[in-house]
Structure formats: structure tokens, C-alpha cells
Amino acid sequence: MNKNVNFDTFKGARVLITGGMGFVGSNLAIALVEAGATVMIVDAMLPGYGANLFNIDPIRDRVLVNYSDVRDIHVMNYLVRDQDFVFHLAGQVDHILSLTDPFPDIDINIKGTAVMMEACKHHNPSARVVYTGTRGQYGPATSLPVSETAPTHPKGIYEISRLAAEKIVQVYNDIHGIRSTMLRLTNIYGPRAQMHHSRYGVVNWFVRLAIDGESIKVFGDGQILRDPLYIDDCVKAILMCAGTEAAYGEVFNVGVDMPTNFVQLAETLIEVAGTGSWEFAPFSAERRAQEPGDFYSDTSKIRRLIGWEATTSLRNGLRCTVDYYRKYKAHYW
């Protein structure tokens, strides 16, 4: 994972990661500690969102952990002080939940981001901010692959809240001079994800079913295209953007421009795991309402400006993921 990442950027740097006990945040924290950064993790440990103390087990004695909420103005005003980098990953990420209760999305994703950026503005305007959003901000693709200039017509409150948060970060970059880069992550999978439910993280949920020898339900005709991205490649993109001056003020897709369909995904996973099966299943009403159809990212911009591209094949990524959860199943099931 070290290839193309200038770790000297982070050696001795003070770093704040919101949502750092979660999937992406914990993997990022481990990479930053290994790079020599002083890392503070902020996480509210909200049930169902994937925060897991075991996620930071390899670095538990080398990070500071603050069990706080990004919506707490006074806490965030204090914690951003003297930080060189702020990685804002905390958020409500359950798009199924947003169909029945939109207020956590509005409160956590929009208000939480505004609190964070105001804290930087007033207490640490020199901090560099990396915000991670979602490819769902685009909504249905008007053409493939989807570039950063594509229209944004999200189909749910969750995706709308993520887009609004990104716009808030952009305003603080453009108007208030808080150097920020905004990333739109695709379907991330790999170690340290939440594995308790299927409401988000479809590839990781498939992994759980395969490990347990259960049947993976492939919705529709299984031909919908996605671009699953292995977590190590995602973390590398985040670090490279944080360490590249040309990234600030820009929006980047972080994905794979070689898509796979769900039948291919299920078959590859079952072959790698040696267990499990798959079957076709109809969409539930909730999933059909938010299904955007085929999606895969145009990653030419991040390749051109940052020099990043995904290097982990689907087969290798799935193998590493299966191996991890088989070894540490007790901490995730």
C-alpha cells in the first residue's frame, strides 16, 4: 500500500480522524500511525454504524481516542486546534434508514460537517481537510463511466445530505481558505467493515454470507455494473490527495474504471472462499426505490492530478477480505 504515497508528508504530523473507529477511518488511522503521524480518533460509537474498538487493535496504544460526536460544537472547536490534517469521515451512512427517518442524515452529515468546518475556520484555518462522500451523490448515471462533471441527481436523503456536506466543505475552501479536498468513494470493501447487517456495504455482506456457507441473493438479473474498490486502494487515494497540493479545492472520484456485475462478483467470491452459493432474488421495494442502475467511476482526473489508481484486483481483494474475517470472525459477526 506504500507505493506512490509520500509518507514523509505525515511523519510527525498531527492528524484528526472523525469516524476513526469505523471501516475506512480505522484503516486510515493504521496507515497514518505507520507513517509516523500523531493520530487522534473521534468517534461517537453510534450503534449499527460499524465503529469497533477491535478495528484499531494493531495501534491501540499509539493513538488518542475521543468518544465524542462531530455535532458537539465545543468539543470540535477544541479538538481541531493544532491539527495539521483533518480527515472528516464521520457520517450517517445507511441509505436504507434514510427512507424511513431522514433526520439523522440531515443532523449528522450536514450539521456535523458545518460544525467541523466552522471549527477549522475559527480555531485552525491552516488545517488541511479531506472529506469523503459517496458515488451515490450522482444518482442514476447519464453516461458511463461517470466523471466528476456529471449531473448530480441523488435519489435519497442520505445521498442528498452527502452532496450538501461536500458543498459545505467546498464553500469553506473557496470562501474561507480552508484547504479542502472532496472525495466521492465507490463501493469499498475489505477488512474492518461492519458485518452485522446488509443495509450498506454490499460486497462485505456477500463475504459474510459466503464465509457462513449461505446463499448470496443477487437482485434482478445480476447484470447491474459496479466498481468495487479494495480498502487499501481507498486509503492510498485518501493519503495521496491529502499530501498533494493540487488536490485542494478539487472533487475526485475514488473508484475503479473496470466494472463488474453482481453475478461475476458472487461467482468470484464463492470461488475464492470455497464456500457459499448464490441465487437470483427480486428487489425489495426499498432497494428498488433507490437502485441507480449501472455505475462505475471515471478515474482519469485523480490519475492525472494525483497519480493514483486502484491496483488491487477483485480476486485478490476478496481473498484478503475473506482471510481477515475468517481469522477475526468473533469480533465482527
What CATH code is carried by the domain that includes residue 101? 3.40.50.720
Quickly list DSSP for 225-267: EE--EEHHHHHHHHHHHHT-GGGTT-EEEES-SS-EEHHHHHH
CA 158 – CA 137 distance, rounded (Å): 9
pLDDT at 328: 98
Total count of domains within the chain: 1
The 10s digit of each residue's pLDDT in 94-124 is 877 888 899 999 999 999 999 999 999 999 9
pLDDT at position 93 = 87
Q: Say if 112 falls within a structural domain.
A: yes
Q: Which amino acid is at 165?
A: A
What local confidence, expressed as pLDDT, does residue 4 receive? 62
- E-state strands within the chain: 14-18, 38-42, 63-66, 85-88, 128-134, 180-185, 188-189, 215-219, 225-226, 229-230, 251-254, 260-261, 277-281
Asked whether residue 69 carries a pLDDT value surpassing 50, the answer given is yes
Radius of gyration, alpha carbons of the chain: 19
User: Is the pLDDT confidence value at 265 over 90?
Assistant: yes
Torsion of CA 218, 285, 141, 205, to 10 degrees: -40
Of 199, 271, 257, nearest to 50 (Cα)? 199
Any idea what DSSP says for residue 178? -
C-alpha cell at 119: 471549527
What is the bridge-based pairing of β-strands 260-261 and 225-226?
A: antiparallel
**What pLDDT score was predicted for residue 2?**
40
* Average of per-residue pLDDT across 56-83: 98
Q: Give domain status of residue 216, yes or no.
A: no
Q: Per-residue pLDDT tens for 198-227?
A: 988 999 999 999 999 999 999 999 999 999
CA dist 215 and 43 (Å) reads: 34
How distant is the alpha carbon of residue 107 from its chain centre? 19
Given a cut of 70, is residue 162 above it in pLDDT? yes
For residue 213, tell me if it sits in a domain. Answer: no
Tell me the pLDDT tens digit for each residue of 271-312. Answer: 999 999 999 999 877 667 667 789 999 999 999 999 999 999
- CB-based burial label for 294 (10 Å; 0-12, 13-18, 19+): middle
Rounded to whole angstroms, how far apart are CA atoms 253 and 148? 7
Whole-number Cα distances in Å, 50 to 5, 60, 201, 331: 27, 17, 10, 11
How do residues 276-285 score in pLDDT, each as one tens digit?
999 999 987 7
Q: Could you read off the pLDDT of 33-61 as tens digits, one per residue?
A: 999 999 999 999 999 899 999 999 999 99
Say if 115 falls within a structural domain: yes
Distance CA(64)–CA(33), nearest Å, equals 11
Residue 133 covered by a domain: yes
Q: Let me know if residue 270 belongs to a domain.
A: no
Q: What is the residue-averaged pLDDT of the chain?
A: 95
Range of the domain at 156: 7-192+229-257+297-312
- Domain presence at residue 105: yes
Domain assignment present for residue 206? The answer is: no
d(Cα 311, Cα 296) in Å, to the nearest integer?
16
Among 89-98, 168-177, 280-289, name the most confident range: 168-177
